[in-house]
Structure 1
Amino acid sequence: MSTILLSVDNDESRAKSQAKSLTRLDFDPESTHVRLFHVFTDNPSGASVTQVGSVRRAKEILENAGYAVSLEGQSGDPAEEILAAAEEHDVDAISIAGRKRSPTGKALFGSVTQEVFLNTDLPVLLTSASTTE
């Protein structure tokens, strides 16, 4: 069985696009497990990953396509948590969505996508920041 770590942020349209993109790839839903992962950067009220709309939307799309889906939420630095979860769960690939940012924005603030991509030996499935319904 293959395991994919699909990391989603709070953007529901981006999470839906990401889940739909995964269903279009040549993975067998019966032999692929998707770990739907969300990183809380600020969670003072102790929200659960099941309360995040983007997580619920992506889960619905993946389950409707026949994938087994588990949910996980962590708090901290998104790139560090994504990489730690990928290692902990021995996943076969990481799926993340890029954001449209200027070169200056990337240089000043970094990029989760860039950090994950540069710090893993795993395949990284990158979904475009532009979304379509």
Structure 2
Amino acid sequence: MYQVLVGVDDDVARARACAREVTNLPGGTDEKTVTLLHSFTEDPGDRSAADVESVNAAAESLDDHGVRYELLESGGDPAQSILDAAKEVGADLVVVAGRKRSPAGKAIFGSVSQSVILSSNRPVMVVGTETRE
């Protein structure tokens, strides 16, 4: 059995892509457990991760494939939240979605995926949203 942590942002297509790649990992559905993490960067008020459309899209995809999952939420810096959660749940693999940004965009806004890759002591899978041919 292995534990997979998936960092889910607000983009539905990226969330579905991450879930799709998790279901494509080797082994049967009974051999993996997934934690879907959404990090709120602003005060969510009464909302929880279960209220986020992208989280629901990823969860639905995992449900469709019979993969067990749990929801986790945090606040603050998304990259640090992913790293902290990976340690907390004992993740064997961290999955994040990448997105195209110009070099200037990366320098100005940073990159959650890049921060996780460079700071993690666990394997990190970066998923794209384009469909494979």
Smaller-chain TM-score bracket:
over 0.9
C-alpha separation between the residues in 2 aligned to 1:44 and 1:124? Answer: 27
Report what 1:27 is aligned to.
27
C-alpha separation between the residues in 2 aligned to 1:14 and 1:83? Answer: 19
Report what 2:91 is aligned to.
91
Deviates more, 1:65-74 or 1:20-29: 20-29
SS at match of 1:91: coil
Structure 1 contact 37–71 (Cα < 8 Å) conserved: yes
TM-score for the superposition, normalised by structure 2: 0.93
How many residue pairs were aligned?
132
Structure 2 contact 99–128 (Cα < 8 Å) conserved: yes
SS at match of 1:105: helix
Report what 1:40 is aligned to.
40
Report what 1:56 is aligned to.
56
Q: 2:102 corresponds to which letter in structure 1?
A: S
Identity over aligned residues, as a percent?
42
Structure 1 contact 99–128 (Cα < 8 Å) conserved: yes
Structure 1 contact 49–73 (Cα < 8 Å) conserved: yes
- The correspondence of residues 1-133 of structure 1 with structure 2, limited to 5 A, is 1-130=1-130
C-alpha separation between the residues in 1 aligned to 2:44 and 2:123? Answer: 33
Change (3 A) 1:56 1:63: same
TM-score for the superposition, normalised by structure 1: 0.93
Q: Quote the offset at 1:44 in angstroms.
A: 4.2
User: Where do 5+ consecutive residues of structure 2 fail to align?
Assistant: none
Structure 2 contact 13–129 (Cα < 8 Å) conserved: no
Runs of 4+ in 1 over 2 A off after TM superposition: 129-132
Q: Quote the offset at 1:66 in angstroms.
A: 1.4
